[in-house]
Every structure is written in structure tokens, then in C-alpha cells.
Amino acid sequence: MDCNLLIKNKKNIKSRLIVLVCFIVILPVAWILVVRLEGEKPSITLELPSPSIGKTQELALSVSDAKSGVRRIWIGLVKDGKEVVLFEKDLPFAGFIRGGIIHQESLNIVIEPVKMGITDGKAMLRMVARDYSWRRWLKGNTAYLEKDVIIDTRPPEVGILSRAHNVSQGGAGLVVYRVSETCPKSGVFVGDNFFPGYSGVFKDDNILIAFFALDYKQGPGTKIFVHATDFAGNSSRAGFPYYIKAKTFKKDLIKISDRFLNWKMPEFDVDISPGSKAPLVDKFLKVNREVRKNNYHRLLSIIKNTDKQLYWKGTFLRLPKSARKAGFADHRRYKYKGHIIDRQIHMGVDLASVAHSPVSASNTGKVAFAETMGIYGKTVIIDHGFGLFSMYSHLNDFSVIKGQMVSKGEIIGRTGTTGLAGGDHLHFGMLVHNTFVNPIEWWDASWIKNNISGKINTVKPDNG
């Protein structure tokens, strides 16, 4: 064999050995150094709804480290130079090469300042997390997160400024009250139903008004009180004197004819059982029950967001030269061919004049809805501010659009027979927050003065 060729083969083998050594030793070592010496700090995510911490506060905390794994979590509260440890934990180790076992840890930490001997005032929430990186001589990367907080364990004080509160079953009322501090949530509880309070009527933003209502089922014995919750979650309530006048509502019998069913049912796109022996009756029942219920839920979604401004003033207008055909909370029984087939409550007042009579806005406000809505047909809903709404249904047509401001007395449409109406009329409704109330009260100048405007004006001289 040629000597030069032999020498060349030996050099090739040596080169291959060097490359192989690089792959076997140097590259893994380099990879380990790059990966295990990574310099990315752990991530700390804190959900803190408010900088205020009350008597009991739960913090939702998440710590993550995708590369080396989480090594240690420490959480403390610093107040007046005193440090209180809220939580500390060392997380498990997977080995020198692999690092930490846990790459994400979610925690719920409960802070109870009084039990921990922490007084009210400014404090700092401090969080520290370390990972299993080889950085800092194997101590790992360290992340810090600090949040300024306020310890507030005292509930807000509530003072009632309005005096007499006389309210009827199915009627509305108003409370004026002052809170000792700004509260994100305050208002009136009527039973289990909450009616939010609003500032903006007075110069002092801590003086609020809350419209509230009793539905037709809530009579004497219903509990009513003001409730306030501050940013720290502390809450308090205040009672006030009130008198509830019981009401008995009219019972009405509605006769359903085949003529009515043949006229009205085609208007509704409702499926019924193919095997129905009385399809028009079954369709009517589905409309009167399910569609009515769905309409109410849609209505709640429409009026959920009210303008925080008092648009209206004075008495609300009713349809001119009209006769009342049905009253608020009439307990209706529906009779077909001698049998009672359904029962429902009429949540408004029906007013009839001549066909296609002009309908005006009962008071100043912003149009919140102008469309067709199931049993109500063509409907306009006006937001008068602070949770007060008026509703105009069974219209033949309307001339306003959503978002439009309308003035008291401005024509918004004409009466009609759309929806589940048996004749040309206006179904007029009033709502306070999520509750239908008797519209008759809002047509009465004396009632508004005694129950609404008079209370506001009594407080205003000293508070603007």
C-alpha cells in the first residue's frame, strides 16, 4: 500500500474521531450550558381587583417559568416597617440536568389583616419567585413584583338623607343617601332584588339617589334597606322608615277566538309539534308563555346599561284622549271554547284612542330600543336615566332610532295592532331597573313631587 495513502487515511480517521468527540461531548455540554444557564426570569401574574384590602381578601397569583421550572415562591406584606410572611414554598427538583418539576403554580392567598395584627393604612405587597437556572452560581434567576396597597378594614358609613318613603305594592320609590367614602357598589335592596344608586345629582359625589320598586307580588313585610360596599370589599347596610301600601289587582278574562288565532298566529315564527290536534291553540300557548318569557329576558338585556344622567323632568305624559282598556298587573285568564287555557300578568297599561293615533315620548330621554319584539310587536323603549325606562308597544310604526335623544311630547310613532294585540291600542309600560311598575304613578304630578322631586329638592339646598 502506498505510504502517502496510508497517512491520508489515518488523518481522515483522526478528523472523524475529533468530529465524533465534538458530537458526543462538546455539543451536549454546550447545549446544557446554554439551556441550564438561561437568563429568563420567572413570570409573576397577580389578579388584584382593587388596591384596597379589607377584612378578608383573596389574591389569585400565578408563577411560571417555562425553561428551568419554578424553585421558590415567597409572598409578604410590608406595613410600617413590619414584614408579615403570607406564603412561602420550595417547589420540587427534578435533577441537576432537568431542573424543576413544576413550570407553573397557581395560588389563592387569603389575607386577613386584623388576625395578622396589621393596622389600616398604606402597605406594600411583595412577591418573589426564583427558578432552577444555573445562573448566579446555581441560585437561579429571581423575579420581584411589588404592589402598593391600602389596608382598609372599616366598612363605609351610610346616612339616609330623604325622609318619608311611602311605596305601593307594584310601585316605585326613591332614597337619597350619603356614603362616607366612594363605593363601587351601593343601592337599595328590596327583598333579594338590588337597585343601584347613582351620583351626579348633587355636587357631593358621595350623595347618591336610588330609584327602587316593588313588583306586583311584593307587599307589606318586604324588607327594604340601603347597602354599600367599598373598594376593599367591606360592606354595611342602613335601614330607613318606609310604609308599603298593599294593592289588590284586577282579575280579567280574555276570550280567545278562532278568528283571533287565525289573524294573529301567522305573525309568529314558532314551531309546534307536528302531531298537534289544535295547532293554533298550541302555538298561542307557546307564544303567550315561552315567547313572553324570552321577550322579558331580552328586555332585561336592553335596559341593563342605563345612562348615568337624569334626563326627565315633571310628570310623564299619557296618550291624549285615550281610554284605559287594561290596567297594570291585571291577572289575566285566557279562555278558549269554555276552558281556561292560560294565565298571565299584564305588566303595563293599555290605552286606546282612534286607530293609528300619534304616540309621543312621555318624557325626555334616549331611545334604547326601536325594533319588533315578540308579543309586544313594534316597540320603542326610552331610557330616562338612572335606571328609569318607558316602553311603548303594539305600534303600527315608529319614527326614531336607537341612540336618538327625544324630548318630552315628541312624536315617536303611532298606535297599532302588532304583536299579540287584539285591537289598535298602545301598551305603555314603566320600568325601574329590572322591575315593571305602575305607570299611573308617573302620570301624577302630586306623586312625583311627594316621592321623587320633593326629596331631591329638600336635600339640594345644602348640597347643590
* Residue ranges of the chain with per-residue pLDDT less than 50: 1
Q: What is the helix (H) or strand (E) element at residue 385, kind and residue range? A: strand 377-385
pLDDT of residue 158: 97
Asked if 158-247+453-463 and 251-433 have one fold, the answer is no
Q: Domain locations in the chain?
A: 43-151, 158-247+453-463, 251-433
pLDDT of residue 9: 61
pLDDT of residue 49: 83
Strands (E), 239-294: 243-245, 251-255
pLDDT of residue 337: 94
**Whole-angstrom distance, CA of residue 262 vs CA of residue 277:** 15
pLDDT of residue 137: 78
Please state the length of the chain: 464
Q: pLDDT tens digits for 237-256?
A: 999 999 999 999 999 999 99
Query: What fold characterizes domain 251-433?
Result: Glucose Permease (Domain IIA) (2.70.70)
Instruction: Identify residue 460 by its one-letter amino acid code.
Output: K
Phi-psi region of 209 (alpha: psi -120 to 50; beta: other; left: phi over 0): beta
Query: What fold characterizes domain 43-151?
Result: Immunoglobulin-like (2.60.40)
**Whole-angstrom distance, CA of residue 463 vs CA of residue 203:** 6
Q: pLDDT tens digits for 6-64?
A: 555 665 666 666 655 555 656 555 555 556 678 899 999 998 888 999 999 898 999 99
pLDDT of residue 37: 74
pLDDT of residue 322: 82
- C-alpha distances out from residue 261 to 253, 266, 287, 362, 415, Å: 17, 8, 11, 32, 21
- 269: which 3 cell numbers? 315564527
CATH number of the domain at 158-247+453-463, please? 2.60.40.10
Cβ–Cβ under 8 Å, residues 357 and 274:
no
Taken in order 400, 402, 405, 409, the sign of the CA dihedral is: positive
Cβ–Cβ under 8 Å, residues 394 and 419:
yes
- 176: which 3 cell numbers? 337619597
Global confidence as pTM: 0.84
- Sequence-distant (6+) residues with CB within 8 A of 75 are 61, 85, 86, 87, 88, 109, 125, 126, 127, 128
Cβ–Cβ under 8 Å, residues 160 and 455:
no
- 428: which 3 cell numbers? 305603555
